[in-house]
Amino acid sequence: MALQTLADAFHDELRDILSAEKQLVKALPKMAKAASSEELRAGFEKHLEETKTQVERVEQAFEETGKAARAKTCEAMEGLLAEASSMMEEEADPEVMDAILIGCAQKVEHYEIATYGTLCTWAKQLGYKAAYKLLKANMAEEVATDEALTALSETVNAEAKA
């Protein structure tokens, strides 16, 4: 696909984030299972439900492009999740694994925040008002998840340090 216009780039990036969110839907249950902290596990489970809704919002955002909601493999998310999967295979004390899981999750959140920020800027420029609103809602949830992970990390990291 030739990316000749900002609309082309927007559509391509929507395809990428759709893939990213779908990959995360598959990965979050594994991360929840690996967590020993009840609060962290609950956070992953809550974000799984949010992520399912985010997939639906991204699919809805395609409507203004006039093109089908079709994912394009997000290699960045593949890499982030491969790293998380590899880290979950490491032998670590439960508290240390929780700290590692938070770090891996925050890498994912930061990637998503950056992507949604770009998409929101482009949607606004292109006059895609509905897409902008949908994508902005996803970004707000990603920011809230990142902030919750940061807050939880203070307790988890102190436990891992001991």
Q: Could you give the dihedral angle defined by the CA atoms of residues 152, 155, 160 and 162, in that order, rounded to the nearest 10 degrees?
A: 180
Per-residue pLDDT, 160: 87
Helix (H, G, I), strand (E, B) or coil at 133: helix
Q: Judge whether 71 lies within some domain.
A: no
Q: Judge whether 38 lies within some domain.
A: yes
Answer positive or negative: Cα dihedral of 133, 135, 136, 141. Answer: positive
Burial environment of residue 68 by CB neighbours within 10 A (0 to 12, 13 to 18, 19 or more): exposed
- Candidates 34, 42, 149; CA nearest to 92 is 34
* pLDDT tens for each residue of the chain, 162 residues long: 689 999 999 999 999 999 999 999 999 999 999 999 999 999 999 999 999 999 999 999 999 889 999 999 999 999 999 999 999 999 999 999 999 999 999 999 999 999 999 999 999 999 999 999 999 999 999 999 999 999 999 999 888 887
Per-residue pLDDT, 1: 63
Q: Judge whether 10 lies within some domain.
A: no
Q: How many domains does the chain have?
A: 1
Alpha-carbon gap, residue 156 to 48, rounded angstroms: 21
Q: Judge whether 44 lies within some domain.
A: yes
Q: Judge whether 1 lies within some domain.
A: no
The CATH code of the domain that includes 38 is: 1.20.1260.10
Instruction: Give tens-digit pLDDT for 146-161.
Output: 999 999 999 998 888 8
Alpha-carbon gap, residue 125 to 31, rounded angstroms: 37
- Confirm whether pTM is higher than 0.75: yes
Alpha-carbon gap, residue 145 to 131, rounded angstroms: 21
Host domain of residue 35: 21-65+76-161
Q: Judge whether 124 lies within some domain.
A: yes
Per-residue pLDDT, 162: 75
Q: Judge whether 12 lies within some domain.
A: no
Q: Judge whether 141 lies within some domain.
A: yes
DSSP-derived secondary structure for 63-126: GGGTS-------HHHHHHHHHHHHHHTS---HHHHHHHHHHHHHHHHHHHHHHHHHHHHHHHHH
Alpha-carbon gap, residue 10 to 89, rounded angstroms: 36
Instruction: Give tens-digit pLDDT for 53-84.
Output: 999 999 999 998 899 999 999 999 999 999 99
Per-residue pLDDT, 98: 95
